[in-house]
Structure 1
Amino acid sequence: MENILVAGANGTTGKKIVTLLESSQYFNPVAMVRKKEQQEQFEKRNIKTVLADLEEDVSHTTENIDKVIFAAGSGGKKVKEVDENGAIKLIDASKNTKVKKFIMLSSMGADNPEEAKDLKEYLQAKHNADVYLRDSNLPFSIVRPGSLTDDKGKGKIELSEKLNKSGEISRDDVAQTLVRVLHDSATINETFEIIKGDTLIGKAIPN
């Protein structure tokens, strides 16, 4: 069983990721949370937690961690501090402890933030974090979903390096995609976009 650090475990998508990992026969979730009161919900399910604030030191978070999913977000409030610098700090920590794979939950539009009509600052922060990860020499996958919805997941997506269209996707299916990418047989050192579609997630993820 591999230990998977989930940054942003208390977020809407993060919680879904942790639940999927909890029932996995391959992975153990380690929930990274910012506040002590957020730990209890995980600990009572016997899920390990680590306390860390992405605006501060995170060097301790990747000890005994095999792979990382970065699903944290500032909600648009502190994009430079959390979405960019927080991600960069966690990438550095992962390098120092020789993490085997770093999976970044990014966003469609992060490849060309200057073309965005809105969310420009957020997309620029995601872009900078993605570039830093690609240049880090860590094995990585960067997953860029369309607009997130709270619809029930269908387990099917449309995936391409560049979809050249906008679209939406459920958080359920994003979480499933991120967990699928954890597998060693899944794509490494690739960046791709996803929206809802007709291809089963297990088939859509490039091997």
Structure 2
Amino acid sequence: MKKVAIFGAAGALGAALVEFFYEKGFIVIGIARDPSKNSRLSELKIQTLTCDATIQAEVQTAISQLSTDTWIISAMGSFNADVPVDYIGHRHLINALEKTNINRFLMITSLGCGDSWEYLSDRSKSAFGSVVREKSLAESWLQSSHLDFTILRPGGLMSGDTTGNAELSQGVEVHGLINRSDVAKLAHQLLENKDSIGKIYECIDPTVTYPVSN
């Protein structure tokens, strides 16, 4: 049975990843600063590890408890965090993985990172540009590692069931939204595909729109 460890398992995107891979029959390990924030982890009797990724020793301890055949997914983010995890947390994670035989790693960042920064609107740069820049640094750190990595940059994240209409793209300007459940589905698709190793993908769903307010 395949194993997947999800960093950021207590967040909204992490929770969607947990649900998807659990339903696919994976052995799921949920890793978060406070796993209790996702009640589904205990309801599904999923193994959890408590880890503040901004603390190097805690990351090393968490990684030491995983078998070498485990897929690693990071959905870590700094929403409402006192200390941003986007760069330093991923740096600690990547460094820890490089000291093991765990190689397959998928990092989920966002549109606007790296070479897609030029496509981010001035309004978005002003609102959350600092977070995007931190994530971009994490991408660069990962790209210089020896891990079998894939980077996935989703558009605006929404709640909702999988639509099946999400689209992957590379190196082109895209804007839009996507349900977290579809990001999870694409993450699985990319991890299964060896051709995605060393690649960066953007993803949106043209059928997902913001709810119309009355």
| Same-fold call, TM cutoff 0.5 | yes
More helix by share: 2
Matches within 5 A, 1:178-197: 178-183=187-192, 185=194, 187-197=196-206
CA displacement, residues 118-143 of structure 1 (integer Å, 9 cap, x when unaligned) = 22211111111001111111000100
When the two structures are aligned, how many residues end up with a matched partner? 196
Q: Distance in 1 between matches of 2:92 and 2:171?
A: 27
What is aligned with 1:22?
A: 22
Paired residue for 1:87, among 61, 65, 90? 90
Q: CA RMSD in A?
A: 2.2
In the alignment, residue 6 of structure 2 is paired with which amino acid? Answer: V
Gaps of 5+ in 2: 208-214
- What is the match of residue 156 of structure 2? 147
1:105 alignment partner in structure 2: 108
Asked if 2 retains the 8 angstrom alpha-carbon contact of 1:113 and 1:120, the reply is: no
Cα deviations by residue, 1:20-62 (Å, 9 ceiling, x for unpaired):
111224x311000212644764234221111110121310112
Indicate the SS of the match to 2:16: helix
2:28/2:47 contact within 8 Å kept: yes
Whether 1:68 and 2:72 are equivalent positions in the alignment is yes
Deviations 1:92-145 (A, max 9, x none): 111112212110001111024764422221111111100111111100010011
Counterparts of 1:3-42 in structure 2, within 5 Å, are 3-25=3-25, 27-35=26-34, 37-38=36-37, 41-42=40-41
Write the distance in 1 (CA, Å) between the matches of 2:81 and 2:18. Answer: 24
TM-score (structure 1 length as normaliser):
0.85
Q: Please identify, of 188-197 and 112-121, the stretch whose mean Cα deviation from structure 2 is larger.
A: 112-121
> What SS does structure 1 have at the residue aligned with 2:63?
coil
Q: List gaps (5 residues or longer) in structure 1.
A: 199-207
